[in-house]
Amino acid sequence: MDCRIVVSDGQKSSAFLVNEGTNLQKAIFQNGFHVSAPCGGRGTCGNCKAVVSGKVSEISPTERKKLTEDEIKSGVRLTCQVVVHGDATVYIEQERSAEIQTEGLEYKVKLSPLAKRETVSLPAASLENSKDDAQRILNSFGKENLKFLPSVLPKLSNVVNGENQDLVITRTDDTIIDVNIKTKETTDYGFAVDIGTTTVVGYLVNLNTGKIEDTISEINDQAIYGADVLSRISYGRENPDGNEILHSKLTGQISRMLRKIIEKKGISKDDVCGISFAGNTIMMHFLIGLNPFRISVSPFTPVTTASMVCFAKDLGIDYHPDCPVYILPSVSGYVGADITAGMLACSLTDRDKIQLLIDIGTNGEMVLSKNGELLCCSVAAGPAFEGARIRCGVGGIEGAIDKISFRDGSFNIHTLWDKKPIGICGSGLVDAVSLLVENYIVDETGKFTEPDEWKPEALCLRDRLTTVNGETAFKIADEIYIYQQDIREVQLAKAAIYAGIKILLEHQNVSYEDVDIVWLAGGFGNKLNSESAVNIGMLPRKLLGKIRAGGNTSGIGAVMSLLSRDCRIECDIIKSRAKYLELSALPGFNDTFIEAMGFEE
């Protein structure tokens, strides 16, 4: 290793050695720094910018397409395109805080947690009561059907002293998993985790009251290998030990998050009696340590979609290895445990209502509940609503434009944390396109029009329609524009969502009027302006008054299943009832999708 790389992000600096010919982005990741890389290092997103100087490869044609002349003059490079040839210095923009959806629907469950601690008063051994220690514990406990985990038995010889004593038994529904001498009154906690492709959210839950006492959220550590699951599957397939790396990234992050929230709360890790996980099917595969490749190719077959009970050490969660774990079931390769959790949280098994659950991300998952029957589908919405493939697109980070309005001649934007605008995220993008369509600045085909075709009240915006590097664009803020290709990306995404809804309802002979509630799940659904979504034809107008924000339905479903045996049983009932509709196999889907591309419903 003969090339010295110095990296700084404004908060920390580090110097390390790499071999000549090393890809700069890989070197940065391997040494603990982060740059945004939604495309997984393929050079298609243009997000992995850094100021680079030193002995590195010449600027590539890809970089010339993705970078402005001012950026090139300032030494900005796409790190995925840079090859190290000698000593170099790299400056990365400091990572910005992200807005992560943690709140969700209220819930009420009958408490019967995955595992809990109970006190047992064990009488002294005697000639009249000389049964073995394990049997005397079961007799005193009044739970003769319980079994001891084999690893617990050696501990009994150190814990049980033959005298009268109070013991604390930690047990699941059918197994005693730990025995300790009681020293003080304690509170039982659980940790429910929603593993998203972009974010990971953990909930510290009081198992005695059922209440969420704290939350922790982070960007998914796997994001450096691509913004979407297919990029990560490709990484796992194309790199030696790639799947093991993705698995370790995830389990390492979960261990770290659990440690952080426990230390913040000031409790012992032994106070955490159970963990539950929900997430899409591919994230569940990475968690368990399974190869998800076959989900990415027809006929999209997972290794397993069943619910699972195991221990943290079985997954490689080192911080609390003996903690029991419940993994919610998935429905199919592209309708995962996050949707099962959402169905639980939104009570989609209710036979008295017709409900629609929509979770919009790179894939748009939908469930229609009719008289308790559950029909699911998934559409490839693309990453536009997560800020990817949009020229000035960003995720939900500080400075992202998340709301846009135009009323009475006044054009206004709002940014997350009220910071200086740095780009536009999904909800702001929908608002922007809605504004353009509503004022005829964009026609029904998605093309920009001339001002003489605009609504009169929009003519005050004519200076915003401009040309940037030879391309027509609409200015949202300084150096932030909506380009023609951005509108095309929105058309593809919104058409997929609309077509999926329409086909799902038609398949079940349900009209728009029949639907009682439409749940929009996740952070994007929570931020989305429903009126804007209807204006661009993402959601049918007849559903407008029925739309509700569900918040993090996946996280709340994970909390409910951690707290309640009934909910864990309900998850398996949901899985058994849910039927998956493969839209690509339906002859009418492509026609419906193409019809939905325009901006007229």
Dist CA 483 CA 486 (whole Å): 5
For range 539-559, the mean pLDDT: 95
Question: Quick one: the chain helix, strand, coil %, rounded to 5?
Answer: 35, 30, 35
Instruction: Assess contact for 288 and 327: CB atoms under 8 A.
Output: yes
Dist CA 538 CA 597 (whole Å): 9
Lookup result for tokens 């790389």: 5
Q: Which tokens belong to 535?
A: 């204006």
3-state secondary structure of 502: helix
Average pLDDT, rounded, for the chain: 91
Q: Which tokens belong to 532?
A: 């804007």
3-state secondary structure of 435: helix
Dist CA 374 CA 367 (whole Å): 6
Dist CA 471 CA 333 (whole Å): 39
* Residue 557 confidence (pLDDT): 97
β-bridge mates for residue 83, sequence order? 23
CA neighbours within 13 Å on the CB side: how many for 100?
21
* Residue 99 confidence (pLDDT): 61
* Residue 438 confidence (pLDDT): 95
**Quick one: 464 exposed, middle or buried, by C-beta within 10 A (0-12, 13-18, 19+)?**
middle
Q: In what order do the strands lie in the sheet with 465-468?
A: 465-468, 471-477, 480-483
Backbone angles phi, psi at 126, to 5 degrees: -150, 170
Q: Which tokens belong to 148?
A: 């001891």
Backbone angles phi, psi at 51, to 5 degrees: -85, 120
Q: If we measure between CA atoms, which residue out of 52, 27, 29, 47 comes closest to residue 37?
A: 47
Q: In what order do the strands lie in the sheet with 547-551?
A: 547-551, 517-521, 354-360, 363-370, 373-380, 579-580
CA neighbours within 13 Å on the CB side: how many for 102?
18
How many beta carbons lie within 10 A of that of residue 269, not counting itself? 16
Phi-psi region of 25 (alpha: psi -120 to 50; beta: other; left: phi over 0): alpha
* Residue 204 confidence (pLDDT): 97
* Residue 44 confidence (pLDDT): 78
**Which H/E stretch holds residue 257?**
helix 242-265
Each as own residue / partner, the long-range contacts of residues 367-370 (CB below 8 Å, 24 or more positions apart, any chain) are 367/335, 367/339, 367/342, 367/343, 367/578, 368/504, 368/505, 368/508, 368/510, 369/343, 370/508, 370/510
* Residue 260 confidence (pLDDT): 96
Backbone angles phi, psi at 330, to 5 degrees: -100, 170
- Higher-confidence position of 129 and 228: 228
Q: Is the pLDDT of residue 601 over 60?
A: no
CA neighbours within 13 Å on the CB side: how many for 139?
12
Backbone angles phi, psi at 169, to 5 degrees: -105, 125
* Residue 167 confidence (pLDDT): 86
Q: If we measure between CA atoms, which residue out of 363, 225, 375, 210 comes closest to residue 300?
A: 363
Residues belonging to the chain = 601
Q: What is the pLDDT of residues 512-527, one digit of tens each?
A: 999 999 999 988 888 8
What type of residue is 190? G
User: Largest Cα–Cα distance of the chain, in whole Å?
Assistant: 102
- Higher-confidence position of 86 and 155: 86
pLDDT > 70 fraction of the chain, expressed in percent and rounded: 98
Q: If we measure between CA atoms, which residue out of 262, 105, 104, 266 comes closest to residue 190?
A: 262
Instruction: Assess contact for 579 and 376: CB atoms under 8 A.
Output: yes
3-state secondary structure of 89: strand
Q: What is the pLDDT of residues 156-181, one digit of tens each?
A: 878 887 788 788 889 998 899 888 88
Q: Which tokens belong to 399?
A: 């400075």
At residue 70's C-alpha, the angle toward residues 66 and 73, to 5°, is 100
Dist CA 279 CA 354 (whole Å): 25
Q: Which residues contact 115 (CB under 8 A, 6 or more apart)?
A: 170, 171, 172, 177, 273, 274, 323, 324
Q: Is the pLDDT of residue 580 over 90?
A: yes
* Residue 1 confidence (pLDDT): 67
pTM: 0.86
Q: Which tokens belong to 529?
A: 């302006």
The stretches of 416-483 forming alpha helices (DSSP H) are 426-438
- Higher-confidence position of 600 and 575: 575
Dist CA 402 CA 381 (whole Å): 19
Q: What is the pLDDT of residues 349-358, one digit of tens each?
A: 999 999 999 9
Instruction: Assess contact for 567 and 561: CB atoms under 8 A.
Output: yes
Q: What is the pLDDT of residues 86-106, one digit of tens each?
A: 999 999 877 666 666 667 789
* Residue 318 confidence (pLDDT): 92
Dist CA 540 CA 504 (whole Å): 13
Confidence of residue 570 (pLDDT cuts 50, 70, 90): very high
Instruction: Assess contact for 201 and 100: CB atoms under 8 A.
Output: yes
Instruction: Assess contact for 343 and 359: CB atoms under 8 A.
Output: no
Helix 281-288 with 229-238: angle, nearest 10 deg: 40
Peptide bond into 299 cis (omega under 30): yes
3-state secondary structure of 306: coil
Q: If we measure between CA atoms, which residue out of 40, 389, 82, 378 comes closest to residue 237?
A: 40
β-bridge mates for residue 359, sequence order? 365, 521
β-bridge mates for residue 193, sequence order? 202, 277
